[in-house]
A and B are shown apart, each in its own frame.
Chain A
């Protein structure tokens, strides 16, 4: 499914840091305090030192896998009969909702993982000039969950020859609602404040939903079909990382990074 290929948008940003593609690179581990378990939710510890916040080649990494235990609930199928142009794009694979997307061995995709606390205060990393692309294709948002930095452009494209409107429901950011009646249209929006999450919806196609995690720093990732995430370039410190899922809620973990090692934090979600 196309949607799954594009869910690791956070990795796009990390391309600027890593030599290889996505979450494959693992930094050398160094003796470090044991990683805390997924289920525990501990208050964040204050950072012990203040260093540059921009990710550096020599920064630490938090990586992990997110799983779902139990039988995942069925995603309702989407009847696109009333939008022939979109329905035509699903000749072999009928579309279904993307509320719970799982992979092999219970991997949970579309989980937004980010550093909630622990970074030195006051630092304002530069947002990349390259926009994050959100595509409306086959009456679906691609990707379904994405991360973006404050001030970074979100380029919304319409690849369908039908009307989509993109309504952003936000509390800390200025909401917007803009339409794209024909294919090929592009709109760029930016967010001025961190917010997890800004909900995007299309009012013409009520099943279309996307979630945007706006962060002031580049330390976030979205899990792909393998459930894996990797947040690189962290300065030494103790961090609270949060994993957000649209249906299963949030979980936190505390991880301390001292140098350039890679720490693991796994999360397990279960049906509520």
Chain B
């Protein structure tokens, strides 16, 4: 693994520039409290779970596109899952459940938050490390443990839980009705452990941003990536415990004979939905806000212009996060809850479209009259804007409650969620990973491979997910093992086949990214200190950034997006830490207890 911490004299951080004793391999790279190492650990583990999620998706698409046909390679799976190569219905619903679970909890969330909150925050606000480095380390190991517990579900009798990643009760609470026994319990335990990891990380992010900003780094000079990660952390620390509570109640229903969710003994089926979605909706904003923040940084960089409407962008992030607590019932319009709640949740849901629209227009405004550089991160960031717009607009159809009636729980929803989570979040990651790769590993990812990967992914991705809107309009329900059972769905089966084939191609293309990532670790071009000519504080450090970051934290003289500022002279960027003759030193903020 590429070395991250150089043992240059005085480069070790800590109070007052004191030096650590030299660290062994285990302490430096495995049980590290260095926020950058923790971020990189999250990166490797989460990319692995992203692969797992993708493999599950391939099996799903095989079955939907070619129902009942033996799957190539199916022979390696046991008879409880596949018989004569044919995926069994009970395995299929495990696949859809685990695909969603792994992608949401173990791929996208840790990639956005576990990786970039950890890696970027101290670097971008100008401090040595997180406020609580050991709790930070624990948060990684708990996340890994949670992932292993979840994976174990595939290896226990009867297999994994299978009520969808949304885990609706009473199906999820009753093993006699679902068929899942130990696997269902493992899901609950894993979620509780993951929630703990999330909360531990979040308290670090929040505390560090509030207390440890470098002198001159006022709130409104923070990059939007940091703002987004800050607000996301607040969402996480408030939302995850709700899910943990619900998961514990579900676990008790299965094991202790409680009946929180089972009406047979006085419980309420809808209680699960309210608890889950009260968490679930803020969760989807956890899954998009960091992406939006990083995209803002990258678009400003690629446009060589300040972000258009920086303050509006901050207020939009806060607005989205705040409103995000008030919309959860839009997942429950058909649930049988009081229809008046349908009206109220529709209002809040339609309103939350507004701050998202503001952000899209501001990204456009940033690119307007810019001097656009189409490096790989910029390409992916522009694609983010394009596809997040589609995903966000498709949400308006379902927000209008009467229109939700025919499209709820159909592939229209599947299209929407994949446009925002893949077209949105994952493309933002395809932008962020190469952008900060040099800071992590000291090398550049290959630009040409990156561009090939981008174009092929962009095309195949849209071929897979855009037609799903039509599939859903045609009435195809979610989580359907075999659509051809229904006469009204038979005519669109050729489109299902097409989508599946495009999906196989989309998956295959990702190996270009995987190869590029792994190959560049050792063979990538050695990175100059500021390869993107960016303004962030992190680029004032060598690549890779050393343990402890700065010996003395820098002073901050301006906002994060002073590209093409007149003061910059002939350069078209002006980093936050560069002192011009006209600048005055900021009054140092006294960070309690640490000094610098």
Chain A: residues with CB nearer than 8 A to chain B?
163, 165, 175, 177-182, 184-185, 187
Contact = CB atoms under 8 A, between A and B. Distances in A.
Contact of A184 (B79, B84, B88, B90): B84
Contacts of A179: 88-90
A182 B68 CA distance: 7
A163 B84 contact: no
A185 B89 contact: no
9 contacts: A177-B179, A178-B88, A178-B90, A179-B88, A180-B83, A181-B481, A185-B84, A187-B79, A187-B83
A54 B191 CA distance: 53
B497 interface: no
Contacts of B489: none
B482 interface: yes
B270 to A, nearest CB: 24
Given A163-B89, A177-B90, A178-B90, 11 more contacts: A165-B89, A177-B179, A178-B88, A179-B88, A181-B86, A181-B88, A181-B89, A181-B481, A185-B83, A185-B84, A185-B86
B176 A182 contact: no
A10 B463 CA distance: 58
Among all A-B residue pairs, the 9 with the closest Cβ atoms: A179-B89, A177-B179, A182-B68, A185-B83, A179-B88, A179-B90, A181-B89, A182-B86, A181-B68
Contacts of A182: 68, 86
Contacts of A165: 89
B264 to A, nearest CB: 16
A178 to B, nearest CB: 7
Contacts of B83: 180, 185, 187
Interface of B: 68, 79, 83-84, 86, 88-90, 176, 179, 481-482
A51 B249 CA distance: 55
- Which of A177, A184, A185 counts the most B-chain CB atoms under 10 A from its CB? A177
B179 to A, nearest CB: 5
A175 B176 contact: yes
Contacts of A185: 83-84, 86
Among B83, B176, B482, the one with the most A-chain Cβ atoms within 10 Å of its Cβ is: B83
Given A163-B89, A175-B176, A181 B84 contact: no
Contacts of B89: 163, 165, 179, 181
Nearest to B83: A185
A175 B89 CA distance: 18
Contacts of B88: 178-179, 181
Contacts of A163: 89
Contacts of B482: 181
Nearest to B178: A177
A40 to B, nearest CB: 39
Contacts of B79: 187
A165 B83 CA distance: 14
A151 to B, nearest CB: 19
Contacts of B176: 175
Contacts of A181: 68, 86, 88-89, 481-482
A185 B89 CA distance: 13
Contacts of A184: 84
A184 B84 CA distance: 10
A160 to B, nearest CB: 13
A12 to B, nearest CB: 25
A219 B567 CA distance: 100
B346 to A, nearest CB: 36
Nearest to A184: B84
Nearest to B176: A175
Contacts of A187: 79, 83
Nearest to B177: A177
Contacts of B68: 181-182
A185 B85 CA distance: 11
B480 to A, nearest CB: 12
A207 B486 CA distance: 22
Contacts of A177: 90, 179
A153 to B, nearest CB: 14
B183 to A, nearest CB: 14
Nearest to B87: A181
Contacts of B179: 177
A181 B68 CA distance: 8
A180 B176 CA distance: 18
Contacts of B481: 181
B392 to A, nearest CB: 38
* Residue of A179, A181, A185 contacting most chain B CB atoms (<10 Å): A181
A72 to B, nearest CB: 34
B431 to A, nearest CB: 42
A180 B83 CA distance: 9
A86 to B, nearest CB: 14
A181 B482 CA distance: 10
B88 to A, nearest CB: 6
A41 B68 CA distance: 53
A43 to B, nearest CB: 35
B486 to A, nearest CB: 12
B344 to A, nearest CB: 38
A205 B109 CA distance: 42
Nearest to A186: B83
B63 to A, nearest CB: 10
Nearest to A161: B68
A179 B482 CA distance: 14
Contacts of A180: 83
A217 B90 CA distance: 34
A179 B86 CA distance: 12
Nearest to B157: A174
Nearest to B482: A181
A178 B90 CA distance: 8
B158 to A, nearest CB: 9
Contacts of B84: 184-185
A139 B179 CA distance: 22
A116 to B, nearest CB: 28
A163 B481 CA distance: 11
Contacts of A178: 88, 90
A165 B481 CA distance: 14
Nearest to B91: A179
Nearest to B89: A179
A133 B84 CA distance: 19
B80 to A, nearest CB: 8
A114 B482 CA distance: 43
A163 B83 CA distance: 13
Nearest to A165: B89
A108 B86 CA distance: 41
A181 B84 CA distance: 11
Nearest to A188: B79
A164 to B, nearest CB: 11
A177 B157 CA distance: 12
